[in-house]
A and B are shown apart, each in its own frame.
Chain A
């Protein structure tokens, strides 16, 4: 068999030796750099993914709207929610300027719903601020340093985790019955909700800290805390964001539940939970007094949960690949 130079190679039709036409399968450069796509990393990909999801836009718009309402209730109604209620209007239907009718106490439902938004959202945001900060500190330190730090921090978390938080919140709110306000109720919920965040972050940190890029950073001489902040945390924070969004909805529900049970906010504070609680007796005769604040509550909670789901799908490449 004669050996030819590559340029002259043509299919050799000898008995057994088959060679493809070189022109048909040209040999490309080994490991050529392809840069025809836009720069991408986890966050940019997630954003690109989110942008295409109607759920993200709908839930995002709803949340922005609710936040706006909570911040500037005066722009939406000039009727005060708790003063000027007249018992003669008790459970009355809609009338001019009062599109959703009146509560049992004769207060304007529309105005109460608008003013109740800030309570729900404040509780929600204070709770997640609390759980996220505590959860990140505990989870990151436990996962990153391991050993006894891990044992102490996570056992502490287990203690809080093992107590049903509604039960615990009921007890706390009963003890602090003289000081029921937004901050106290948020603390009562948040104190028992942070272990979830801590656990999620810890498992992510455990995964990331064994990466070769962490070893490489150690070998360059970067300090332990530097590694934690520069390499480990940014790579393990995504699931925490998802959990946070989802637990925001849960916190709002918890406040409504406590208020409904009568151990939440006092009647003087505008709260959807309080209104639902007071309307339950008239459910059969005047369902709108219960349904309207319930819809407000459900819409808010659902918006956060849907946003959380959209974020999870976008931030978890494995989930993305499955679709």
Chain B
């Protein structure tokens, strides 16, 4: 099956991929990563490939310029770039094409600049390699021009600096500059902003868009975020298990997804769900959402509705709920050694106050470095505050010692971000979940075993998993285990520190739904810490927005989304991918 048959006839496309197959050599033989992928990119067009991890989207990007990692190889098909087949091109021909005709912006700005060379040197290297200028002066001048174009205003001064002196966003700008240095006809951007804060992401993509528009460069944009893809590209390609399952105009696909997998993705994308809630202009519970059978288990809006139904009575003010957590004037100052014996004070959290009513969810939102995770650590008594008061169910936690601290820990449990670091790899799942019970001396061996099974049922994992080890589980399953461990002591409060941020959207939607179900069932109070405002819309009752250690705005979720008071909040809201899409709902 090829999509090319359906594109409008006329001039040959810039890039035409035909039945591309890629395999990776492993001990068990050749494993296919791409299974006959076909698509076209026209001149000056922006095309986005969307998919989850393992769908083959990055492999496709790498295969186009024949930069497959390690044991990967193209096993079939063609990559026609301006009529030339890059899949069969020699190394010399490819080097000619890379950089000059096809630019590449890699995913991770942290590891894709060489830390031992100055930024200027690395840009000059590109300039020289592509023969854009000759002579020391000209090369330098071109490098400065490239960086200025990429949005580094003080390029002359920063040329001598090293990558570690640049922020993540700055580094990504440098990489974009390098990618666009030679005015290529096609730019491949592989998740160019997924490691960055949303506001930075927005600025960088805006800038990239204006640059490529000016020069007429076509962009192949690889992302996991459907909202982002639809916002930035005119054409969408949805990949699943090494195949293209759906392709077409972005808006058309968003509004009328035909393949069940695409329908699922759309139902699970927080940015789109948030957008749909916003577009409806109604309170949750009265939104009609495109319910499809296969998408039901991951539909965020449905999950949000159920949650609201289960929790709402308290929100409407009919029942006044007592606060479960009260934080007053919380401050945390870290002392950082700055060479020698000097210490510099760094205020991670400054004068933060909020309270969370029993059985509700408060989201603490902020970008990296805003101090949101430090608040979580202080609340969990993993760190001690410099000043301020935290009380949990009426008890001031600062003074608790020994037994009392142990009983506090029983009422409050965390779930952390990294699914790969959150479980001890040497303990099996059963022991991991039972550990809090052992620490608190709850029950005997058999009753603990029963409780482990009960918890596994609650997080929808099969019981046999109790004898297995973490490395056999996917990220989402590990997060479920972490949730089960947190629930084992029947806590009242669960602190979720970026608990769904590292997961693929479908898995993320599933976990969000699980959390919502558990809250309704067990009356849990959540402190939900996240950088993703879109997720907040479907899970939280109240939102506190943090910036540089302070809470700049706190209100109910609807208020924050519908009428934000602070500019910063507005920036954050605007930066949610998909905010620019006109949805006809």
Residues of A bordering B, CB below 8 Å: 1, 3-7, 9, 11-22, 24-25, 27, 30-31, 33, 35, 37, 39-44, 211-213, 215-222, 226, 231, 234-235
Q: Please name all residues of chain B whose beta carbon is closer than 8 Å to the beta carbon of A231 when the two chains form the complex.
A: 424
Answer yes or no: B297 CB below 8 A from chain A CBs: yes
Cα separation A1 to B235 with both chains bound (whole Å): 17
Smallest CB-CB separation from A33: which chain B residue? B462
Cα separation A40 to B476 with both chains bound (whole Å): 19
Contact of B439 among A5, A19, A215, A222 (CB under 8 A): A222
- Is there an interface contact between A31 and B474, defined as CB atoms closer than 8 Å? yes
- Is there an interface contact between A221 and B405, defined as CB atoms closer than 8 Å? yes
Q: Please name all residues of chain A whose beta carbon is closer than 8 Å to the beta carbon of B231 when the two chains form the complex.
A: none
- Is there an interface contact between B467 and A13, defined as CB atoms closer than 8 Å? no
Which range holds the interface residue count of chain B? Answer: 35 or more
Contact of B413 among A5, A20, A220 (CB under 8 A): A220
Known contacts A234-B426, A235-B424; decide if A22 and B417 are in contact (CB<8 Å): no
Contact of A19 among B235, B246, B435, B471 (CB under 8 A): B246
Answer yes or no: B130 CB below 8 A from chain A CBs: no
Q: Which of B71-113 contact A (CB under 8 A)?
A: none
Smallest CB-CB separation from A45: which chain B residue? B471
Q: Which of B235-260 contact A (CB under 8 A)?
A: 235, 240-241, 243-249, 252-253, 256, 258-260
Q: In the complex, what's the smallest C-beta–C-beta distance from B74 to chain A, in angstroms? A: 21
Mark each residue of chain B from 461 to 499: 1 if its CB lies under 8 Å from any CB of chain A, else 0.
110110111111110110000100110010000000000
Smallest CB-CB separation from A37: which chain B residue? B472
Closest 7 CB pairs of A and B: A17-B248, A41-B469, A220-B436, A212-B416, A221-B409, A212-B422, A212-B421
Cα separation A16 to B22 with both chains bound (whole Å): 25
- Is there an interface contact between A17 and B252, defined as CB atoms closer than 8 Å? yes
Smallest CB-CB separation from A13: which chain B residue? B6
- Is there an interface contact between B423 and A33, defined as CB atoms closer than 8 Å? no
Smallest CB-CB separation from A12: which chain B residue? B258
Mark each residue of chain B from 122 to 146: 1 if its CB lies under 8 Å from any CB of chain A, else 0.
0000000000000000000000000
Smallest CB-CB separation from B416: which chain A residue? A212
Q: Please name all residues of chain B whose beta carbon is closer than 8 Å to the beta carbon of A226 when the two chains form the complex.
A: 439
- Is there an interface contact between A4 and B416, defined as CB atoms closer than 8 Å? no
Q: Please name all residues of chain B whose beta carbon is closer than 8 Å to the beta carbon of A33 when the two chains form the complex.
A: 461-462, 465, 473, 477
- Is there an interface contact between B248 and A216, defined as CB atoms closer than 8 Å? no
**Besides the contacts A19-B245, A219-B409, what 8 more A-B pairs have beta carbons closer than 8 Å?**
A19-B258, A19-B259, A25-B245, A30-B298, A33-B462, A42-B425, A216-B422, A216-B482
Cα separation A15 to B3 with both chains bound (whole Å): 10
Smallest CB-CB separation from B486: which chain A residue? A216
Answer yes or no: B382 CB below 8 A from chain A CBs: yes
Q: Please name all residues of chain A whose beta carbon is closer than 8 Å to the beta carbon of B418 when the two chains form the complex.
A: 212
Q: Please name all residues of chain A whose beta carbon is closer than 8 Å to the beta carbon of B482 when the two chains form the complex.
A: 216
For A5, A21, A221, the residue with the greatest tally of chain B CB atoms inside 10 Å of its CB is A221
Contact of B243 among A9, A25, A37 (CB under 8 A): A25
Answer yes or no: B263 CB below 8 A from chain A CBs: yes
Known contacts A3-B256, A211-B421; decide if A42 and B1 are in contact (CB<8 Å): no
- Is there an interface contact between B422 and A18, defined as CB atoms closer than 8 Å? no
Known contacts A27-B294, A41-B425, A222-B439; decide if A216 and B259 are in contact (CB<8 Å): no
Q: Please name all residues of chain B whose beta carbon is closer than 8 Å to the beta carbon of A39 when the two chains form the complex.
A: 428, 467-469, 472
Q: Please name all residues of chain B whose beta carbon is closer than 8 Å to the beta carbon of A215 when the two chains form the complex.
A: 382, 414, 416
- Is there an interface contact between B256 and A35, defined as CB atoms closer than 8 Å? no
Mark each residue of chain B from 1 to 22: 1 if its CB lies under 8 Å from any CB of chain A, else 0.
1010011100000000000000
- Is there an interface contact between A219 and B380, defined as CB atoms closer than 8 Å? yes
Smallest CB-CB separation from A20: which chain B residue? B245
- Is there an interface contact between A16 and B405, defined as CB atoms closer than 8 Å? no
Smallest CB-CB separation from B295: which chain A residue? A6
Answer yes or no: B292 CB below 8 A from chain A CBs: yes
Q: In the complex, what's the smallest C-beta–C-beta distance from B260 to chain A, in angstroms? A: 4
Question: What are 17 inter-chain pairs, A to B, with CB distance below 8 A?
Answer: A11-B1, A13-B6, A16-B248, A17-B247, A17-B252, A18-B246, A20-B244, A25-B240, A25-B259, A31-B506, A31-B507, A35-B472, A37-B472, A215-B382, A215-B416, A216-B414, A220-B436
Q: Please name all residues of chain B whose beta carbon is closer than 8 Å to the beta carbon of A16 when the two chains form the complex.
A: 6-7, 235, 248-249, 252
- Is there an interface contact between A9 and B469, defined as CB atoms closer than 8 Å? no
Q: Which of B280-313 contact A (CB under 8 A)?
A: 292-294, 297-298
Contact of A219 among B297, B414, B421, B470 (CB under 8 A): B414
Mark each residue of chain B from 497 to 536: 1 if its CB lies under 8 Å from any CB of chain A, else 0.
0000000001100100000000000000000000000000
Cα separation A218 to B406 with both chains bound (whole Å): 10
For A9, A21, A213, A222, the residue with the greatest tally of chain B CB atoms inside 10 Å of its CB is A213
Smallest CB-CB separation from A323: which chain B residue? B27
Answer yes or no: B261 CB below 8 A from chain A CBs: yes
Known contacts A30-B297, A41-B426; decide if A213 and B421 are in contact (CB<8 Å): yes
For B245, B461, B510, the residue with the greatest tally of chain A CB atoms inside 10 Å of its CB is B245
Cα separation A159 to B500 with both chains bound (whole Å): 48
Contact of A221 among B440, B469, B476 (CB under 8 A): B440
- Is there an interface contact between A18 and B244, defined as CB atoms closer than 8 Å? yes
Q: Please name all residues of chain B whose beta carbon is closer than 8 Å to the beta carbon of A24 when the two chains form the complex.
A: 243
Smallest CB-CB separation from A322: which chain B residue? B70
- Is there an interface contact between A20 and B246, defined as CB atoms closer than 8 Å? yes
Q: Please name all residues of chain B whose beta carbon is closer than 8 Å to the beta carbon of A14 when the two chains form the complex.
A: 6
Smallest CB-CB separation from B479: which chain A residue? A31
Answer yes or no: B410 CB below 8 A from chain A CBs: yes
Q: Please name all residues of chain A whose beta carbon is closer than 8 Å to the beta carbon of B243 when the two chains form the complex.
A: 20, 24-25
Answer yes or no: B264 CB below 8 A from chain A CBs: yes
Q: Please name all residues of chain B whose beta carbon is closer than 8 Å to the beta carbon of A219 when the two chains form the complex.
A: 380-382, 409, 412-414
Cα separation A202 to B353 with both chains bound (whole Å): 39
- Is there an interface contact between A30 and B464, defined as CB atoms closer than 8 Å? no
Contact of A43 among B241, B423, B426, B473 (CB under 8 A): B426
Q: In the complex, what's the smallest C-beta–C-beta distance from A26 to chain B, in angstroms? A: 9
- Is there an interface contact between A27 and B477, defined as CB atoms closer than 8 Å? no
Smallest CB-CB separation from B290: which chain A residue? A3
Cα separation A31 to B3 with both chains bound (whole Å): 29
Smallest CB-CB separation from B405: which chain A residue? A221
- Is there an interface contact between B439 and A220, defined as CB atoms closer than 8 Å? yes
Mark each residue of chain B from 26 to 61: 1 if its CB lies under 8 Å from any CB of chain A, else 0.
000000000000000000000000000000000000
Smallest CB-CB separation from A7: which chain B residue? B293
Q: Please name all residues of chain A whose beta carbon is closer than 8 Å to the beta carbon of B260 when the two chains form the complex.
A: 6, 9, 22, 27
Smallest CB-CB separation from A2: which chain B residue? B256
- Is there an interface contact between A20 and B259, defined as CB atoms closer than 8 Å? yes
- Is there an interface contact between A222 and B382, defined as CB atoms closer than 8 Å? no
